[in-house]
A and B are shown apart, each in its own frame.
Chain A
Amino acid sequence: MKKPERPPSLDDLEARLRAARAGKPEPDGGSRAGPRGNASGLGVAARITVELVVATLVGFGIGWALDRWLGSAPWMMLLFLLLGGAGGVMNAYRAAKGLDDSVGLGAAQRRRRGGADKS
């Protein structure tokens, strides 16, 4: 590799480094989508499939453990199976709508609206 006559201006590099350290977007690179906006569709698809099943199973597990602890079989298991299913649907809905995976659906929706207003 041949070195150019003069290396790219160090002052310019220094300015960009300083901008990056301060967390500010570079002067020429300000066209990024908002946060969370650029997760690829494939990534989302890979996420949703598991959410439904896992949340239901976790609900089932919690209910089963509560039953063993309280001796109330099978009521806790039934209740938490339903709650787990609801949690799974909510997680899948969240991922599908592109509202991140954070806990708190209301907060996520508000964040989304807030972000849309700003951009």
Chain B
Amino acid sequence: MANPIEQFKIKPLVDIQVEGVNLSFTNSALMMTIAVGLVSTFLLLSMRGRALIPGRWQSLAEVFYEFVANMIRDNVGPEGRRYFPFIFSLFMFVLFGNLLGMIPLSFTYTSHIAVTFALALLVFVGVTVIGFARHGLHFLHMFFPHGAPIATAPILIPIELISYFSRPFSLAVRLFANMTVGHIILKVIAGFVISLGVFGVLPLAFLTGVTILEFGIALLQAYVFTILSCIYLNDAINMH
């Protein structure tokens, strides 16, 4: 049976060493490049016509646009519109990473915590900077619930601080864990199909169901990642 972890192995395709730092172009980097290329091609080509009555491809592009635009409008409000390009890029990058990973023999870059944590850290640092830029030191007020007795401050403030600092971790771990676990399960069950011979029909049926579930999770996790970014952004912009 094939090793279920092997699919996550990073393989350098072009070795690049800059002063002892490994900057090799890996299979992960290749998939990211492909994802960015696909998203750009898809959006540029489908919107080329700019028709008033959209065709098939333009409708598809507009579905993505409206989905993210509505998400920002509902969760952040009109102030959040200027951050649309960032949120949209984030959503498309994660979505295509998850979906490209479902192609057999490809590589899922969102199954690496280095990638998801970098994205989460980008959101976290960005949101914190936006919060301080818009509210100054007043931003720190959100670490103490308004109206709570002052005596509870020594307990509440550390708890709120930890809860704030756990954001990038929960954002990163959620996406990474879901993608990794899903792909391991697929691989393990697929191993049973071969080794059970005739009775492999049973795991094969199960595998079909799990594959459909995985597609659902790929979509759902891209959605969750984006909507949480929106909610965090809302905190920084519309502080109450």
Contact = CB atoms under 8 A, between A and B. Distances in A.
Interface in B29-67: 52-53, 55
B166 A35 contact: no
A76 to B, nearest CB: 11
Interface size class of A (residues with CB under 8 A): 35 or more
Given A54-B169, A107-B142, A87 B174 contact: no
Contacts of B145: 104-107
Contacts of B143: 103-104
B52 to A, nearest CB: 6
Interface string A25-56: 00000001001101110110011001101110
Contact of A43 (B74, B164, B166, B224): B224
A101 B78 CA distance: 20
A67 B199 CA distance: 56
- Do most interface residues of chain B lie in helix, strand or loop, or is the interface mixed? helix
A3 B53 contact: yes
A100 B163 CA distance: 13
A105 B114 CA distance: 31
Contact of B220 (A42, A83, A91): A42
Interface in A83-101: 83-84, 86-88, 90-91, 100-101
Given A7-B52, A46-B174, A101-B231, A107 B146 contact: yes
A87 B231 contact: no
Interface residues of B, number: 42
Interface string A1-40: 1010001100001000000000100000000100110111
A110 B159 CA distance: 19
14 contacts: A8-B52, A50-B170, A54-B166, A55-B162, A55-B170, A57-B169, A83-B158, A83-B159, A84-B166, A87-B166, A90-B163, A102-B231, A103-B160, A103-B163
Interface of A: 1, 3, 7-8, 13, 23, 32, 35-36, 38-40, 42-43, 46-47, 50-51, 53-55, 57-59, 62, 80, 83-84, 86-88, 90-91, 100-107, 110-111
Give 9 closest A-B pairs by Cβ, nearest first.
A106-B145, A23-B78, A87-B163, A87-B162, A54-B170, A58-B166, A55-B166, A102-B235, A50-B174
